Amino acid sequence: MLLENSLPAFKQHWEELAYSEPSAIQEKVYEPLKTGKDVVGISPTGTGKTVAYTLPALEQVEPKAGLQLVILTPSQELSIQVGEVVQEWASQIGLTSQTIIGGANLKRQIDKLKEKPEIIVGTPGRIFEISETKKLKLHAVKTVILDEADQLLQQEQLATVRKLVNKMPGQRQMGFFSATSNELMQDLAKWFNVEPLWIDATEEDRSKGEVLHAYIETPTRKRVETLRRLTHMKDFRGLVFVNNVANLTLAFEKLTYEGISVAVLHGEKYKTERRQALQQFRDGKIKLLLTTDVGSRGLDIQDLPYVIQYDVPQTKESYIHRSGRTARMGKTGTVLTLVNERELREFKKLISSLEITLTPVYLYGGDIVKERPLAEESPAKTETEKPTNKLKKTVKLQTEKLSKVIEEPVKKKKKHRKKVDKNKGARRKTKNKEID
């Protein structure tokens, strides 16, 4: 239905991109969104939700008629990525879009609005901030899309989203898209006065690739060493999730000291630094990209082979979004969790309702194996490391030195007496003679 009914320019661009058949979510939401219905779209990560809402939403936008479409995302990285996709498709039919996010130059963003884009993509906080200056008018908005809606409806962002939507016409269309739902999404009627059509394509979607959900039992103190060993694997590239910035920074410093090509992606970094880190990782210039859960939502990294959980996720939703960074659009991938014995029990409970098979694996011989090795490698020594002649010589010298120390007789230490005590006996004799 999507390809048959979409604009000729979109059909042509679809073919130029060599896209395969539309995914289940793309097919199911196309007609309802195109005809102005409010929609909730639930589909696994990596199934093309951005394109699913972009095409039908753009088909309702009139060129040169002011701002009509607003797309909200919970993070700067996701806004940039979505903005690139939207601009790519919008340009096919003569529309312009602008990405507005926190952390960027506010004055420059306001100046760019003079170009009168028909579409705005961005984070709720910065869009609301500019709208309060009257430099961004929302009175003509026809459609507003919430990407990663379950996160945007969390308490820390919900109030801002609601205030922003209240600046738009009461009859605007709304779309809510996510890989997972939460209790707040059941309250959409209360928050936004809508009764959306619910479309869940989770069971029908077949675009998700094969994923190996695995774990390596690793003491916390040895996890950096495990990451280092993983980087010696052929064609290795891993997105590493750490629960907090402090642990992330510590791991980054240790890996950098070891000479590993690594970068970081988290909310405390400047926008340009995060963009550069992400681009280097996409280009294969670095092997490890350390991130917090800011990187679990919507990031599209083509052909990513490994997602590594340095820390066990705190919710099952977090695990779903993290693991969704690999095996996208039919590709294969591995989600590898580093756990100790206590964490393993809790981790299994956490994901028990997800109906996935969790496989124990081991690092051996420069690769990940499913069978426990008879004699596992020492974690301090990688498969590519061999004792050098210099090391052998050092060990030999140390051994000879130790043998010499053992063979030599132990010498008695001289007693060191104070000066006043020296020849004390002789002085006592002399004194006795004088008395006699």
List, for residues 235-245, the tens digit of each pLDDT value: 999 999 999 99
Judge if 103 and 28 occupy the same domain: yes
Judge if 34 and 148 occupy the same domain: yes
Judge if 43 and 176 occupy the same domain: yes
Average pLDDT, the chain: 85
Q: Does residue 52 have a pLDDT over 80?
A: yes
CB 273 within 8 A of CB 223: no
Which of the given ranges, 15-24, 203-212, 340-349, has the highest pLDDT on average?
A: 340-349
How many other CB atoms sit within 10 Å of the CB of residue 170? 7
Range of the domain at 257: 211-369
Judge if 14 and 77 occupy the same domain: yes
Judge if 190 and 318 occupy the same domain: no
Q: Give the pLDDT confidence score for residue 399 in this predicted structure.
A: 46
Q: Which of 200, 229, 246 is the last residue of a domain?
A: 200
Judge if 328 and 253 occupy the same domain: yes
0.85 exceeded by the pTM? no
Judge if 192 and 217 occupy the same domain: no
Judge if 193 and 217 occupy the same domain: no
Q: Give the pLDDT confidence score for residue 392 in this predicted structure.
A: 45
In a domain, 409, yes or no: no
Q: Which of 151, 128, 146 is nearest to 72 (CA)?
A: 146
Length of the chain measured in residues = 436
Q: What percent of the chain has pLDDT over 70?
A: 83
Q: Which of 334, 369, 404 is the last residue of a domain?
A: 369
Q: Which of 200, 219, 241 is the last residue of a domain?
A: 200
First CA to last CA across the chain, in angstroms? 132
Judge if 188 and 218 occupy the same domain: no
Q: Give the pLDDT confidence score for residue 384 in this predicted structure.
A: 42
In a domain, 272, yes or no: yes
Judge if 343 and 215 occupy the same domain: yes
For residue 295, give the DSSP letter: G
For the chain, how many structural domains are there in total?
Answer: 2
Judge if 20 and 154 occupy the same domain: yes
CB 306 within 8 A of CB 333: yes
In a domain, 434, yes or no: no
Please report where in the chains the tokens 């690594």 appear, as a residue.
262
